Chain A
Amino acid sequence: MNSAAEVSSPPRDAQSFRRRLIGFIAVGEVGVLAAMALLVAFFWLLEPAFLSERNIRAILNVVSFVGIIAIGQTILLVAGEFDLSVGSVAGLSAVVAGKLMTAAALPVTAAILGGIGVGALIGLLNGLIVVRLGIPAFIQTLGMLFIGQGLIQVVTGGYPVYPLPDAINDIGGTDLVFGLGWSFAFFIIAAIIADFVLRRTVLGRNMYATGGNKEVAHLVGINTNAYKIGAFITVGALSAIAGMFVMADLGSGGTSIGSGWELTVIAGVVVGGVSLFGGAGTVAGGVVGILLLKIVQSGLVVIGVNSNWQQIAVGVIMVMAVGLDIVRRRYFIAGA
């Protein structure tokens, strides 16, 4: 009886405001968004060209590629695993699709599906090995990172896949709105869908349960292995799509596509409040985190900071973001 009263009675005004404020700050994305707004203002004050159309477009374009992978990585992190092979998978899928549409002379659509298939297959393999054999995701996907890089060389012989069919160059060159093309459109739509799935669906809720405590999830009847493997496949397929968009953008299947992305993606989503330990974070947060990292990198270039300092900044920001997140959790969620 007591609880009913407590739950339904409207709290007093001052308290309610305070509680709402705390609730607002406790929402993971708010902190990152605020930090991002501050950074944008900071760079803009130092160099108004930071907010030039050209620069904004450049930032968004880069974010769309890594952002697509960040969506998958966020889902996988929520399910309690992570994938270091995303960059390799992106590169490998791109060159395989490139070879399929050139050397094998397959229709472009079939070749693209082939590329996605490669990504999904590697995701499946990662998932099966991690879940069934119990090999830690760190080891399995680090191994896959090297395997993927090796396979890129095997498939291409070390030379970029070039020239590509016109249809691919068209995909890369299309200007849908504000100079942004298909990759950005795909990124936005995929992010909205994935965010909705994690927030509002049974599938999403079960994913959080799986990442939060696998044993509990299993005991309430959730097939945790299927969820983990599914998340690995998703991240693989999304990596493949991102890799192929880069290929279309460049007009060639370069052998360095995706190289070094794995850490950028993980750093970004972690900045956005996605937990490395599973079960916490949102796609919106992860995507905003990536955006924040890219804004910092671009801003430092625009205001003329030596490029060596950019990496240092990324490192500092990531550690700070996680530190702030821990503080936030302690004071606004635990101590509210």
Chain B
Amino acid sequence: MSDITRQTLFSATAIVKNFGGVQALRGVDFDVIPGEIHALLGQNGAGKSTLVKILNGVHPAGSHTGTIQLDGQSVSFASPADARSSGVGYVPQEIEVLEQLSVAENVFAGRTGLGAGMLVYQRKLEQRAGEIFADLGIDINPRAYVASLTSAQRHLVMIARAIVMKPRVLMLDEPTASLSGTEVDALFSVLRRLKAQGVAMIYITHRLPEVLAICDRATVLRDGQVAVRIAREDFDAETFIFSMSGQRLQRLFPEHAAPVGTPTALDVRHLTVAGHSGAVHGANDISLSVAAGEIVGLAGLLGSGRSEILHGIYGRVPAEGAIRVNGQSVAVRSPADARAAGIALLTEDRKRDGLLFNLPVGANITIGNLAPLSRHGMVRGWLERSSILAAMRALNVKASSPQAAVTHLSGGNQQKLLFARVLMRAPKVLLLDEPTKGVDAATRHEIYRLVVELAEKGVALLIVASELEELIGLCDRCLVVADGRIVDEFNRGEGGEDRVLRSVTSAQAERHAMAAQASS
């Protein structure tokens, strides 16, 4: 420990961060030394992104307790720009590029002046970007337009953008989430060069094979605390899985037994969905079935294709394959077809794909469900109002009136409102994408109860959730998805979070090996 402390470049000590009443970080220590790639691991909600946001100035100094030191000097970052100018760079998980500009302009975004006043020296920018790329071994033409790049290349552009500032510390948040196997190798060779230059890197990932491949040290967070710190010589996938999924606060899930002998409600054969922008993961030849009254979970990492499966079944994205509902073959070309067949979808992103902010609470519930509430195309006011009130009561949606604006509702109430919408047509098959995302603990529990109630009424449920504990606690059966394929399946009681992590890891290791073979 002592020799590491001696050369520590960047460190955080006793970091505590609260969100409202929730403790996201409870006294975390973290440090990184020059020329080291330090993996930061943990499940969703373990506190990884909170820690990174503190180190990066997104959560500014003063909003948390604890000290951050750079080169032995105490620092307090007021903003990401502040952190950047102090030599702490950050490459976010989402690709943020200016599509209409050239690669060189993107690399120097915000710094195009190059110290020469107001003018942009296009030639000079391209030359400098070219030098940076050559230095990192990146093969991209600096004059190309970013719109023409693949998502992997865009990610490299974002890394180059961080490198321009000559950071001494570089944080990478899930840099491989959108990359294919060979692209990952290209990224790794860039990281190795940075390492040789003495840059200290913090590498956040869910993918254990990558940790084994490139990292020097790993810190595992669990429930806002450091669960374990592991040196390279002790790296072992089993250890990681064990420490990530160890004991956590026990949550109570309502009792539900898998139905016996009920007919299959949803049957999907050979469903294939293309990945977005022609890139990697979509859903690849997925076959699954859900019985009436059964709760089935799709477990997998972000970007594994689990949401794409739901979207393919619902007709939100073009998909190939056969879908049967209650034994009837249905052609689903659009959400309207899926709804007509008795399939309903609760989307993940309430703000973007769920709520209509221009309509009040009541109309948000009945939108898409107006046919039975109208005659000759005219909405029957009293009938609509009474069914809205009934739906609000049934789902305990707390709003002052059906005329209230949806912006006033809490996240939990907004989510219950969307449940009211999808349930109004009494679907036979209900697809739920992250049904408890961003809702309070009480509502979370209400949603668990609702899911079980629906199953008991004979609805077939297919659920995607990032929190494995939740998925395993709630579902009768879990399907593990990795790289757009189902790689494992187990019933309630046959496995826990560790089983999911293990199946995902072995699937990834396989893919990694195949990619290595292909590229050699």
**Chain A residues near B (Cβ < 8 Å):** 1-4, 6-8, 23, 200-203, 205-206, 208-209, 211-213, 215-223, 275, 278-280, 333-334
Q: Once bound together, how far apart are the Cα atoms of A294 and B88, in whole Å?
A: 60
CA distance A216 to B406 in the complex (A): 14
| Pairs A-B, 10 closest by C-beta atoms | A220-B368, A279-B358, A212-B358, A221-B336, A212-B356, A202-B370, A221-B339, A4-B393, A3-B398, A201-B377
Q: Mark contacts of B389-400 with chain A using CB atoms, 8 A cut-off: 1 yes-contact digit, 0 otherwise.
A: 100110011111
Q: How far is the CB of B385 from chain A (nearest CB, A)?
A: 10
Contact of B336 among A7, A203, A223 (CB under 8 A): A223
User: Within the complex, which residue of B334, B379, B389, B397 is in contact with A201, where a contact is CB–CB below 8 Å?
Assistant: B379
Could you show 22 A-B contacts with beta carbons less than 8 Å apart?
Answer: A2-B396, A3-B393, A3-B396, A4-B392, A200-B379, A201-B377, A202-B371, A205-B379, A209-B356, A209-B368, A212-B356, A212-B358, A213-B352, A213-B358, A216-B353, A217-B367, A219-B316, A219-B345, A219-B347, A219-B353, A278-B358, A280-B358
The residue in B354, B367, B398, B405 that gathers the most chain A C-beta atoms within 10 A of its C-beta is B367
B290-334 vs A: 1/0 string, CB under 8 Å? 000000000000000000000000101000000000000000001
- For B398, the chain A residues whose CB sits under 8 A away are 2-3, 6
Docked-complex contact B356 and A333, CB < 8 angstroms: no
Report Cα–Cα, A141/B400, bound state, in Å: 42
Tell whether, in the assembled complex, residue A215 and residue B370 are in contact, meaning their CB atoms are under 8 Å apart: no
User: B253 interface residue, CB < 8 Å from A?
Assistant: no
Please report the C-alpha to C-alpha distance between residue A333 and residue B316 in the assembled complex, in whole angstroms.
33
A3 touches B399 (CB 8 A): yes
Knowing A7-B389, A200-B379 are in contact, say whether A208-B336 is a contact too (CB < 8 A).
no
* A215 touching B367 in the complex, CB below 8 Å, given contacts A200-B378, A334-B405: no
For A200, the chain B residues whose CB sits under 8 A away are 378-379, 381
Q: 19 extra interchain contacts, Cβ-Cβ under 8 A, other than A216-B367, A223-B334? A: A2-B396, A2-B398, A3-B397, A3-B398, A4-B392, A6-B398, A7-B389, A23-B403, A202-B371, A208-B363, A212-B356, A213-B352, A216-B354, A219-B316, A219-B345, A219-B347, A220-B335, A222-B368, A333-B405
CB proximity to A under 8 Å, residues B344-390: 345, 347, 352-359, 363, 366-371, 374, 377-379, 381, 389
Q: Which residues of B contact A23 (CB under 8 A)?
A: 403
B336/A202 in contact, CB under 8 A: no
B217 interfacial contact with A, CB 8 Å: no
| Chain B CB within 10 A, most for which of A2, A205, A219, A222 | A219
Distance, CA A206 to CA B408, complexed state (A): 23
Task: A221 to B340: give the CA distance in the assembly, Å.
Answer: 9
Per the bound structure, the CA–CA distance linking A280 and B360 in Å amounts to 11
With an 8 A cutoff between CB atoms, is B100 at the interface?
A: no
A209 with B336, Cβ < 8 A, contacts A2-B396, A219-B316, A334-B407 known: no
- CA distance in complex: A203, B379 (Å): 9
Q: Give B394-431 interface residues, CB cut-off 8 Å to A.
A: 396-403, 405, 407-408, 421
Question: In angstroms, how far is the closest chain A Cβ from the Cβ of B454?
Answer: 19
Query: Does the CB pair B356–A279 fall under 8 Å?
Result: yes
Name A202's contact: one of B334, B355, B374 (CB within 8 Å).
B374
Nearest B residue to A23 by beta-carbon distance?
B403
A46 vs chain B, min Cβ distance (A): 39
Question: Are A203 and B377 in contact (CB-based, < 8 A)?
Answer: yes
Asked if residues B401 and A7 are in contact (CB atoms below 8 Å), the reply is yes
A205 touches B370 (CB 8 A): yes
| Chain A residues whose C-beta falls within 8 Å of the C-beta of B340 in the assembled complex | 221
Q: Could you tell me the distance in whole angstroms from the C-beta of B289 to the nearest C-beta in chain A?
A: 24
Closest CB-CB distance, A238 to chain B, in whole Å? 20
With contact pairs A221-B339, A221-B368 given, residues A6 and B400 touching in the complex (Cβ less than 8 Å): yes
Contact yes or no, A209 B392, CB < 8 A: no
Smallest CB separation, B35 vs chain A (Å): 46
What residues on A are CB-neighbors of B402 within 8 Å? 7
Of all chain A residues, which has the CB nearest B339? A221
Do the beta carbons of A215 and B421 come within 8 Å of each other?
no
Pick from A1, A6, A8, A216: contact of B356, CB below 8 A. Answer: A216
Taking A219-B316, A334-B405 as contacts, is the C-beta distance between A7 and B356 under 8 angstroms? no
Known: A279-B356, A280-B358. A3 touches B392 (CB 8 A): yes
Contact (Cβ within 8 A) B358 A208:
yes
Q: Is the CB of B368 within 8 A of A211?
A: no
Task: State A260–B438 Cα separation when bound (angstroms).
Answer: 50
Residues of B within 8 Å of A222, CB to CB, are: 336, 367-368
Q: Please name the residue on chain A nearest to B314 by beta carbon.
A: A219
CA distance A1 to B395 in the complex (A): 9
Known contacts A3-B392, A220-B367; decide if A212 and B378 are in contact (CB<8 Å).
no
* Interchain CA distance A200-B335 in the complex, whole Å: 25
- The answer to whether A209 touches B359 (Cβ under 8 A) is yes
Name the residue in A202, A217, A280, A334 with the highest tally of chain B Cβ atoms < 10 Å from its Cβ: A202
A contact residues around B407 at 8 Å (CB)? 334
Q: Chain B residues near A7: list those with CB within 8 A.
A: 389, 392-393, 399-402
Complex Cα distance, B367 from A208, in Å, reads 10
**Complex: A279 Cα to B360 Cα, angstroms:** 12
Q: Are the CB atoms of B399 and A221 closer together than 8 Å?
A: no
Q: Provide the bound-state CA to CA distance between A223 and B316, in Å.
A: 13
Are B379 and A215 in touch, CB under 8 angstroms?
Answer: no
Nearest A-chain residue to B422, judged by Cβ? A220
Complex contacts, A203 vs chain B, CB 8 Å: 377
Would you give the shortest CB distance from B415 to chain A, in whole angstroms?
14
Partner of B367, one of A209, A275, A280: A209
B367 touches A205 (CB 8 A): yes
How distant is the Cα of A7 from the Cα of B408 in the complex, in angstroms?
15
Bound-state CA distance A215–B339 (Å) is 15
Looking at the assembled complex, report how far the CB atom of A150 sits from the nearest CB atom of chain B, in whole angstroms.
31
Q: Is the CB of A1 within 8 A of B377?
A: no
Q: In the bound complex, how far is the Cα of B418 from the Cα of A220, in angstroms?
A: 11
Cβ-closest chain A residue relative to B316 = A219
Q: Which residues of A contact B356 (CB under 8 A)?
A: 208-209, 212-213, 216-217, 279
Which residues of the partner chain B approach A219 to less than 8 Å between Cβ atoms?
Answer: 314, 316, 335, 345, 347, 353
Known A-B contacts A1-B396, A218-B335; the reply to A201 vs B358 at CB < 8 A is: no
B359→A208 contact, CB < 8 A = yes
Given contacts A202-B370, A202-B374, A222-B368, contact A212 B399 (CB under 8 A): no
Q: In the complex the two chains form, is A215's CB within 8 Å of B353's CB?
A: yes
Chain B contacts for A202, CB-based, 8 A: 370-371, 374, 377-379
Q: In angstroms, how far is the closest chain B Cβ from the Cβ of A148? A: 31
Q: How far is it, in angstroms, between the C-alpha of A54 and the C-alpha of B379 when the chains are bound?
A: 42
Least CB separation from B369: chain A residue: A220
Q: Which residues of B contact A8 (CB under 8 A)?
A: 389
Least Cβ–Cβ distance between A276 and chain B, in angstroms:
13
Within 8 Å CB of A3, what residues of B? 392-393, 396-399
A136 to chain B, nearest CB (A): 15
**Is the CB–CB distance between A201 and B352 below 8 Å?**
no
CA distance A208 to B360 in the complex (A): 11
Residue B363 contacts which of A201, A205, A211 (CB distance < 8 angstroms)?
A205
Chain A residue with Cβ nearest B381: A200
Query: Within the complex, what minimum Cβ distance (angstroms) separates A249 from chain B?
Result: 34
Point out the residues of chain A lying under 8 angstroms from B374, CB to CB. Answer: 201-202
Beta-carbon nearest neighbor of A222 in chain B: B368
Tell me, in angstroms, the Cα distance from A205 to B380 when the chains sit together.
12
A205 nearest CB across to chain B (Å):
6
A38 smallest CB distance to B (angstroms): 28
Closest chain A CB from B513 CB (angstroms):
39
Expressed in whole angstroms, the minimum distance between the Cβ of B147 and any Cβ of chain A is 15
Give CA–CA (A213, B418) in the complex, Å.
15
